[in-house]
Structures are given as C-alpha cells and as structure tokens.
C-alpha cells in the first residue's frame, strides 16, 4: 500500500476533498511565515493599528490566509506537476490570529492533455476551494488549475471540459465588502495614498528578494505537493511553492506602495515558469484601474515577476485588488 493522493485518471467532477486538518492562526505561525515572505503590510505587523482600523488586534496577513487555504487543498494535488492559474479569489472575511481555517476542495472541471511522445500523459484539474473559519463563516473562495500525471499511461479518460469558463470575476462590491466596517483614517498619511496613484502608472520595484526556506513554507502551510519536498518528484530539483512567489511579490508591492491597507481579492494569477530556491525575484507593478468609493479606493494592480537564475525568466503574472485609503 502506498499512501498518496490521486492521479488525474482517478479524479471525477464533483469529487470533494476536505480531510486536510484545520489550522489555527497563531503568532508563532505568523512570525515564521513573515520570516520567509517578508511581510510588510502595516495592519498584520501592528496590533494597535489593527485594533484602531479593524476593531480587533492581530489581523492575520492575507498572504498567510491564502497560503494555508492553498496548502489545505493539496490533498487533491499530491502529484501536481505545475499549477497553471488561480482565478476569482475573494476574501469574505478577514481572519485574525486565533481563528482556525478549514478548506473544502471540489473538482469542477477536467481536461486530459494531448499525449506527447516521450512524456508521461497529464491532465488539467480545475478545483474550487472554499475556506471557512471555526464558526463556519466563509473566509475565502477561489479556483485553481493543477496539472497532474495519469497513473495509467494508456488511459484515455475522455475528459475535455472547457477550462476557460472556470471561475467567476469578482465584483467591486465583493472586493470592498470584507473591509466595510473598517475605519481607514488611522492609515492615512502612512504612505502614498490613493490620491498619488494614477491609472497606467508603472512602478519598478528597486532590489530583488532571494527565495529561501522553500520546503519550510510548504510544511508550515500544510502543502503536501511532492514537487515542493522531493527533488525526484520535481524532475531532479524541488520546485518552489507558488504561494512563496506570490508572497514575495506582495512584499515587494507593499514596499513600493506602503499605503496599501490589505489585499481583498485576486482577479487572476498565472505561473509562467518554475521558481527554484536561490532564485532572486524582481517585480514591476502596474496600476491598471482605480475604483473609488466612500471607503477608500480599490486599486487593481498587476505584478509581473521575473527570476534571476542562470538566465532571467518570467515567472508570475498576478492581478490583484488592494484597498488604498
């Protein structure tokens, strides 16, 4: 008997994975996570400021929350070869330390890839992940697409779902609802605010960040995908967990735009190439759209990340929504 997750040809639409353990967000977990991704959002760093803005101290970093949710979903993707995209991630609630996260992962679409000579057959599994807290209150809702190998190389599953239709775009109302009760006044003047942003503005973040402690981050967030732990599964080199790249991209975006209050959702996120431990990541931020409201401005930002290794390569194209006072 081998204890492992399913291969592509063992998945079916409607199948649910919810056996990953719940994880309580603690100060120790937050500190360990921060040491790896370089958290720079003011609210998770400053309990007094968190209490003034949100009404309670110890706001959890949004990057910690989505890393845990993604990690819990990997019970379905133990054999993943690559994660192609994330879509429609929206925060329904902003957790604080002390909350416990539990996630449910449902297979919503399957498509077997064209067989290529000399390569093990693979397929794409679109998954919907919904995360709730200890009271059952919704925290996160999003889709991701994982590429998995087939157990039987001769299998022809017939799966041919349209993956372009997977996911739902978040409305501006849903992107602001999570922070509706916040008092943003204590954040004003702490960095360039929404008044200093313009649509089409491009910001090149000065300096890169080295990728370190990659398997530690995967373990920390319950991510069991073999390619992040086992060099043999990664084709001779462990791949860095995608949330690691995204977390460093957020830290760089916050360094460039320290006025960001929080991230309220993602429009999309595409992994363009593999990242390895020791790579240095650099990013460019584009302000694509500004949606004003009576409660701050939702800045729709695009982070394009490159990795310095033996050669420079594009590794991430991430579009996300940030609340800016």
Residue 1 belongs to a domain: no
Distance from the Cα of residue 203 to its chain's centroid: 22
Tokens 């360094």 sit on residue: 255
Mean pLDDT for back-to-back runs of 10 residues, the chain (325 residues): 79 95 97 95 95 95 97 92 89 96 97 84 95 97 93 86 84 85 87 78 94 95 90 81 95 93 94 92 96 81 92 93 92
Using a 10 angstrom Cβ sphere, with 0-12 exposed, 13-18 middle and 19 or more buried, the burial of residue 154 is exposed
Task: Report the CATH number at residue 225.
Answer: 3.10.129.10
pLDDT digits (tens, 9 = 90+) for 134-146: 999 999 999 999 9
Specify if 175 maps to a domain. yes
pLDDT tens digit string along 254-304?
A: 999 998 999 999 999 999 999 999 999 999 999 999 987 657 789 999 999
Residue 161 placed within a domain: no
Contact in structure between 109 and 161 (CB atoms under 8 Å): yes
Residue 228 lies in a domain: yes
Total of domains in the chain: 1
Q: Is residue 159 part of a domain?
A: no
Output the CA–CA distances (angstroms, integers) from residue 52 to 4, 46, 49, 275, in the order listed. 46, 10, 5, 38
Look at phi and psi of residue 218 and say left if phi exceeds 0, alpha if psi is from -120 to 50, else beta.
Answer: alpha
- For residue 316, tell me if it sits in a domain: yes
| C-alpha closest to that of 23 among 62, 69, 89, 74 | 69
Confirm whether 197 is domain-assigned: yes
Would 53 be classed as within a structural domain? Answer: yes
The DSSP bridge pattern shows strands 280-292 and 297-308 to be antiparallel
Note if the pTM is more than 0.85: yes
165-192 pLDDT, tens digit per residue, is: 888 777 778 888 899 889 999 988 776 6
The pLDDT value given to residue 276: 92
For the chain, the maximum distance between any two Cα atoms, rounded to a whole number of angstroms, is 62
CB distance 6 to 19 below 8 Å = no
In which domain, by residue range, is 201 found?
Answer: 8-153+167-324
Are the C-beta atoms of 92 and 140 separated by less than 8 Å? Answer: yes
């Amino acid at each position: 008997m081998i204890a492992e997750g399913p291969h592509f040809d063992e998945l079916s639409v409607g199948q649910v994975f919810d056996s990953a353990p719940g994880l309580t967000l603690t100060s120790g977990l937050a500190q360990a996570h921060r040491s790896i991704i370089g958290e720079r959002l003011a609210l998770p760093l400053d309990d007094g400021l968190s209490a003034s803005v949100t009404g309670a101290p110890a706001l959890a970093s949004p990057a910690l929350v989505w890393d845990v949710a993604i990690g819990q979903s990997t019970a379905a993707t133990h054999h993943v070869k690559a994660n192609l995209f994330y879509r429609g991630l929206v925060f329904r609630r902003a957790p604080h330390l002390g909350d416990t996260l539990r996630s449910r992962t449902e297979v919503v679409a399957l498509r077997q890839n064209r067989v290529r000579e000399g390569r093990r057959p693979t397929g794409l599994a679109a998954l919907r992940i919904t995360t709730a807290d200890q009271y059952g209150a919704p925290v996160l809702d999003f889709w991701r697409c994982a590429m998995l190998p087939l157990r039987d190389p001769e299998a022809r599953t017939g799966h041919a779902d349209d993956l372009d239709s997977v996911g739902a775009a978040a409305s501006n109302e849903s992107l602001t609802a999570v922070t509706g009760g916040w008092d943003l006044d204590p954040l004003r003047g702490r960095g360039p605010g929404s008044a200093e942003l313009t649509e089409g503005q491009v910001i090149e973040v000065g300096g890169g960040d080295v990728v370190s402690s990659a398997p530690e981050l995967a373990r920390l967030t319950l991510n069991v995908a073999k390619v992040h732990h086992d060099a043999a599964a990664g084709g001779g080199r462990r791949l860095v967990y995608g949330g690691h790249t995204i977390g460093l991209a957020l830290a760089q975006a916050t360094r460039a735009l320290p006025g960001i209050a929080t991230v309220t959702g993602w429009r999309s996120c595409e992994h363009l190439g593999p990242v390895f431990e020791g790579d240095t990541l650099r990013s460019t931020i584009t302000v694509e759209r500004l949606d004003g409201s009576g409660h701050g401005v939702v800045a729709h930002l695009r982070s394009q990340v490159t990795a310095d290794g033996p050669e420079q390569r594009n590794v991430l194209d991430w579009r996300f929504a940030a609340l800016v006072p």
